[in-house]
């Protein structure tokens, strides 16, 4: 299916000055990515390590690749040389491995911590308490925590979705809002890095709600590239 360029322009206009668009190109061919690239788009999101590695190898080097899927520690090494932002960091072990691979590549890798906000059990992420207990960050100098990411419940109930986004926004404000940098909180591990901070929430079905709730990065796939067919 062709790329919906009209929709792309509409979304870009809608987000202007408020949020960054990550165009989620998972399962889509490189030709589709190039169509948006030619319109000036540079931020693309992928979920699968092998697919990302294959695409990165043949596409222009100024693309900023976002890894938005569930990342296994043993696969970090494949994307560490080039990944721009890892959205779904959901364990201490994964953070340590990203640090190790980033160091090997002489880089600092930007990460978002994934917070579990959905009522569904299946979604990955830290709970708020686990976030509080995260003590490793000061030792991981090759990891830079840029903010938080979350996925709302897959539901038509926009009140539920909105309340989940609200919860994520409030956690984000607690940890990343500049006004929180009072002397007592300045040394909490999550606030040691500099702004601007990123709050990645919102997908094709719920990005408008996410924007209303303070998202500054949305991850949109099917609205731009059409429905995905996983059986190809």
In the range 139-198, which residues lie near ligand PLP by CB under 6 A? 151
**Piece of the chain touching ligand PLP by CB under 6 A; list 96-104, 122-130, 169-177, 214-222:** 214-222
10 Å CB burial of residue 60 (0-12, 13-18, 19+) is exposed
In the range 13-42, which residues lie near ligand PLP by CB under 6 A? 24, 26
Is the Cβ of residue 109 or residue 203 nearer to ligand PLP in the bound state?
A: 203
Q: Residues 136, 92: contact at Cβ < 8 Å?
A: yes
DSSP classification of residue 191: G
Q: Name the residue whose CB lies closest to ligand PLP.
A: 221
Minimum distance from residue 49 beta carbon to ligand PLP (Å): 13
Among positions 19, 68, 145, 152, the unique one binding ligand PLP when judged by CB under 6 A: 68
10 Å CB burial of residue 180 (0-12, 13-18, 19+) is middle
State the Cα angle at 106 between 69 and 83, rounded to 5°.
20
Kindly write out the interface string for residues 76-115 of this chain, putting x where it contacts ligand PLP by CB under 6 A and - elsewhere. Answer: ----------------------------------------
Alpha helices for the chain (secondary structure H): 5-15, 30-38, 49-58, 76-79, 92-104, 128-132, 158-176, 207-212, 222-225
**Piece of the chain touching ligand PLP by CB under 6 A; list 74-82, 100-108, 189-197, 218-226:** 218-226
Give the span between the Cα atoms of 148 and 152, in whole angstroms.
13
Is the Cβ of residue 56 or residue 69 nearer to ligand PLP in the bound state?
A: 69
Query: CB count, 10 Å around CB of 134?
Result: 17
Under rule CB under 6 A, residue 204 binds ligand PLP: yes
Is the Cβ of residue 140 or residue 210 nearer to ligand PLP in the bound state?
A: 210
Minimum distance from residue 224 beta carbon to ligand PLP (Å): 8
Among positions 47, 55, 123, 197, the unique one binding ligand PLP when judged by CB under 6 A: 47
27 sits in the region (left: phi over 0; alpha: psi -120 to 50; else beta) called: left
DSSP classification of residue 70: P
End-to-end, the C-alpha distance of the chain in Å comes to 13
Is the Cβ of residue 155 or residue 222 nearer to ligand PLP in the bound state?
A: 222
Among positions 7, 73, 222, 226, the unique one binding ligand PLP when judged by CB under 6 A: 222
DSSP classification of residue 131: H
**Piece of the chain touching ligand PLP by CB under 6 A; list 33-41, 133-141, 170-178, 199-207:** 199-207
- Contact residues for ligand PLP, defined by CB under 6 A: 24, 26, 47, 68-69, 151, 203-205, 219-222
């Amino acid at each position: 299916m062709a790329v919906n360029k009209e929709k792309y322009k509409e979304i870009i206009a809608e987000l202007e000055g408020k949020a960054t668009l990550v165009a989620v190109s998972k399962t889509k061919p490189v030709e589709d990515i190039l169509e948006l690239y030619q319109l000036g788009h540079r931020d693309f999101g992928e979920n699968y390590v092998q697919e990302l590695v294959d695409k990165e190898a043949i596409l222009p080097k100024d693309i900023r690749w976002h890894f938005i899927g569930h990342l296994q520690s043993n696969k970090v090494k494949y994307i560490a040389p080039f990944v721009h932002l890892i959205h779904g960091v959901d364990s201490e072990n994964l953070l340590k491995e990203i640090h190790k691979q980033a160091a090997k590549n002489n880089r600092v890798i930007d990460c978002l911590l994934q917070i579990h906000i959905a009522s569904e059990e299946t979604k990955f992420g830290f709970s708020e308490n686990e976030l509080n207990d995260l003590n490793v960050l000061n030792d991981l100098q090759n990891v830079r925590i840029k903010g938080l990411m979350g996925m709302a419940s897959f539901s038509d109930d926009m009140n539920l979705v909105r309340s989940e986004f609200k919860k994520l926004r409030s956690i984000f404000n607690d940890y990343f809002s500049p006004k929180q940098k009072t002397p007592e909180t300045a040394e909490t591990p999550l606030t040691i890095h500099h702004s601007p901070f990123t709050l990645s929430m919102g997908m094709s079905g719920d990005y408008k709600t996410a924007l209303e709730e303070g998202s500054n990065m949305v991850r949109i796939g099917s609205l731009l590239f059409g429905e995905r067919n996983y059986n190809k």
